[in-house]
Amino acid sequence: MVSKQNINVALIGNPNVGKTSVFNQLTGLNQQVGNYPGITVEKKIGFCKLPNNIKANILDLPGTYSLNASSIDENVVIELLLNKNDKLYPDVALVVTDVENLKRNLLLFTQIKDLEIPTILVINMADRMKFKGISLDIPYLEEHLKTKIALISSRKGYGIDELKNLIVSYRTISTEPCLNASSIDPDYFNNLRKAFPNQLLYKLWLVITQDVNFLNLERNEIRSSFTKSHSDLKRLQQKETIKRYQFINDVLKVGLKIDSSVARDYRSRLDRVLTHKIWGYVIFFLILFVIFQSIFEWSKIPMDFIDASFASLSTLAAEELPAGVLTNLISQGIIPGIGGILIFIPQIAFLFMFISILEESGYMSRVVFLMDKIMRKFGLSGKSVVPLISGTACAIPAIMATRNIENWKERLITILVTPFTTCSARLPVYAIIIALVIPDNRVFGFLNMQGMTLMLLYLLGFGMAIFSAYILNKILKIKGKTYFVVEMPNYKLPLFKNVGINVIEKTKAFIYGAGKIILAISIVLWFLASYGPGEKFNNAEKIVIENTKQNPLQEDEFENAVASQKLENSYIGIMGKAIEPAISPLGYDWKIGIAIISSFAAREVFVGTLATIYSVGGSDNEVTIKNKMAAEINPVTGEKIFNFASGISLLLFYAFAMQCASTLAVTKKETNSWKWPAGQLIFMSGFAYVVALLAYQILK
Ligand code: GDP
């Protein structure tokens, strides 16, 4: 746990320097992931035992290029470093760098150092040095950068113990700055120093130039008397950067040697293929194809297993526990509810396994680079590709996969539009309705109409996602620079440990975040479907016996008829009837109404609910349900309920409506607000209603 007695260690560094790997090396699985209050930036804290029985809270800060903030992530870093009263204010900062990109990485180091926090320079990826012909003069670098250096390889695990020893002795590290701030503009800075003699000059400078919260009162005061025009400030900032690079260049001239005859470079050759105008896309789509095939294939077995286990657990509970409300709640509400959460785990785990492997290997940056130009036209980022495509399996892991989109607006748009892509839960609904209303004919002898319809529905979902992104991009007024730095890291073999930890973390986040809400909604739906007011519900058995006096039913037929009678008169049945006036212009009756309400838990429930209503029993009995559905007649018009018009209307409704409590729960978790899931629900379902209405009215 975070404790005052522990020393606070902040991990800071550019993206892709191996910060997460160092974090994982130091903390193992002792990690807590949360959010910074009010924003969606992930906050990762871990715990580490150091020598001499000292313990440390390790705070993994978001990757940042410099202290000139251009994203909320970077703001988080600056705010923490400016605020001495923060419970997590670091006693010591570890600036993690990549030995191959030392020059660029040191910019941030010099800035952190100038905040006069004891700073250790962690030079990571030491295992690459030999291969790249790099040698370092560590004592020289330590002397001139006025710091202690840990040369480590988080991949191979060496240097970690030395790093821990350095952390323990953080008090001995010099806090002397690298750059004398007043050298940027002597007049300006000397005045600043006179006005605030007790404050660190570089901190004041950050407060003036950055949009961050820092001792609010003072900040306004500082700003009002020391603001310069925007262009003047920019000029000074540039001057600062130039001075820092001069300093870094001078130090590295002696401290870093690269023997380029040693360096062998496969990288550019590989890049030429992987980011090629044509081959790049072909390879990417092939990889995607393989990934999705495997997600579906590999998830099937554990998913079926989870499904079957919970079904038998539920039966077991019903049989073994004393009959009563509590047993019903457990066997029909809680157990299926938990099963409904766990069933997603295989897909989530496999998806994140593949995503981490692609990220770890360095390939993902190439994909982002390839797709960015196209996606940006629609207000999305190159990084939106993965969530949008993962949405075809399930929107839940897909929305969770938006986390690495730095720009908040692009990330939010991606979250909001992802549920339009056709997820696997829509498939059973599509399958049964298409089979009912689309003729099984072939056009031109080979194009199967039913298959074509299914494909059109997929395209429709994808098109709608892109289209709404375009609209949202126009209407959402969210500040956020769309700067595009493609970091092209080296290709690497993925670290198994990083992949594993990432998968565990994402799965946990889903279970604890969205899981609770899914469970709650399943219980509510269970209640609504298992209880009802009045005679018709309570005396369902009697009524069925009465109605079938002439030709009594077989035992299971009887049970199905009772279940159907109960469902019709349960609360959810009453709700289905109550919404009938609203849905009959779409061509639906109250039975479909019940199915629509209950498929709010998950879309695939649609088929099962209809099976109960038509008293088929056992949702896997698809042929029978289909026959019953095909025979349904509207008592008013005398027409078939499932005809071409109402079928198309239903397909469109399911394509667009936000009918997934779990997705709403994940959106809430990822955006930290109910506003966005509420918007999703209203907009998507409203749109679905209008489209379905138009379709039915035109086609009928
Ligand atoms: P972050 O973005 O800074 O958190 O970086 P990650 O920890 O995700 O690492 C980025 C990439 O560098 C991954 O592919 C890691 O496997 C790789 N990596 C991390 N540490 C080392 C190391 O010490 N040596 C080598 N060769 N690769 C490393």
Q: Which atom of ligand 1 is nearest to the CA of 19?
A: 3
Among protein residues, the one whose CA lies closest to atom 18 of ligand 1: 18
Average confidence (pLDDT) over 630-635: 78
* Residue in 359, 495, 497, 501 to alter for ligand 1 test, most ligand atoms within 8 A of Cβ: 495
Q: How far is the CA of 432 from the centre of ligand 1 (A)?
A: 47
Residues near ligand 1 with C-beta < 6 Å? 13, 15-21, 63, 124-125, 127-128, 153-155, 360, 489, 492, 494-495, 498
Q: Which atom of ligand 1 is nearest to the CA of 153?
A: 23
**pLDDT value, residue 531:** 87
Q: How far is the CA of 600 from the centre of ligand 1 (A)?
A: 41
63, two tokens: 């990757």
Judge whether residue 619 has pLDDT over 60: no
Per DSSP, the chain holds a count of helices (H) and strands (E) of 33, 11
Q: How far is the CA of 416 from the centre of ligand 1 (A)?
A: 31
Q: Kindly tell me the sign of the dihedral angle through the C-alpha atoms of 23, 671, 517, 300.
A: negative
Q: How far is the CA of 490 from the centre of ligand 1 (A)?
A: 9
Q: What is the pLDDT of residues 473-524, one digit of tens each?
A: 999 887 665 555 556 777 888 888 889 988 888 788 777 766 776 677 778 8
Virtual CA dihedral for 457, 458, 463, 464, nearest 10 degrees? 60
223, two tokens: 């700003």
**pLDDT value, residue 651:** 95
Quote the strand ranges of 349-495, DSSP E: 442-443, 447-448
Helix (H, G, I), strand (E, B) or coil at 133: coil
Distance CA(421)–CA(466), nearest Å, equals 10
Q: How far is the CA of 21 from the centre of ligand 1 (A)?
A: 6
Q: Which atom of ligand 1 is nearest to the CA of 124?
A: 23
Judge whether residue 618 has pLDDT over 70: no
* Residue in 58, 105, 154, 404 to alter for ligand 1 test, most ligand atoms within 8 A of Cβ: 154
Judge whether residue 179 has pLDDT over 60: yes
- Calculate the alpha carbon distances from 642 to 200, 447, 567, 631 in Å: 74, 24, 21, 8
699, two tokens: 């086609």
Give the angle 587-607-342 at the CA atoms, nearest 5°: 135
Q: How far is the CA of 18 from the centre of ligand 1 (A)?
A: 3
**pLDDT value, residue 72:** 64
Average confidence (pLDDT) over 117-126: 94
237, two tokens: 């900032």
32 phi, psi to nearest 5 deg: -125, 135
CATH architecture classification, 7-262: 3-Layer(aba) Sandwich (3.40)
Distance CA(539)–CA(545), nearest Å, equals 10
**pLDDT value, residue 219:** 60
**pLDDT value, residue 658:** 93
Distance CA(700)–CA(697), nearest Å, equals 6
Q: How far is the CA of 256 from the centre of ligand 1 (A)?
A: 21
Q: Which atom of ligand 1 is nearest to the CA of 17?
A: 3
Domain ranges of the chain: 7-262, 266-531+570-700
Judge whether residue 298 has pLDDT over 70: yes
Q: How many CA atoms lie within 13 A of 518 on its CB side?
A: 26
- Calculate the alpha carbon distances from 14 to 95, 104, 252, 253, 405 in Å: 9, 9, 18, 22, 15
What's the mean pLDDT when you consider all of the chain? Answer: 83
Strand partners for 548:
none
State the pTM of this model: 0.62
Among protein residues, the one whose CA lies closest to atom 24 of ligand 1: 125
**Sheet order of strands, 42-49 included:** 31-35, 42-49, 55-60, 7-13, 92-98, 119-124, 148-151
Which segment of 220-229, 282-291, 549-558, 637-646 scores lowest on mean pLDDT? Answer: 220-229
Q: Which among 469, 493, 374, 394 is positioned nearest to 127, based on CA atoms? A: 493
Whole-number percent of the chain with pLDDT over 90? 25
* Residue in 11, 17, 21 to alter for ligand 1 test, most ligand atoms within 8 A of Cβ: 21
Yes or no: say if 51 and 165 are a contact pair by the CB < 8 Å rule.
Answer: yes
Q: What is the DSSP letter of 381?
A: -
Burial class, 194, CB count within 10 angstroms (exposed 0-12 / middle 13-18 / buried 19+): exposed
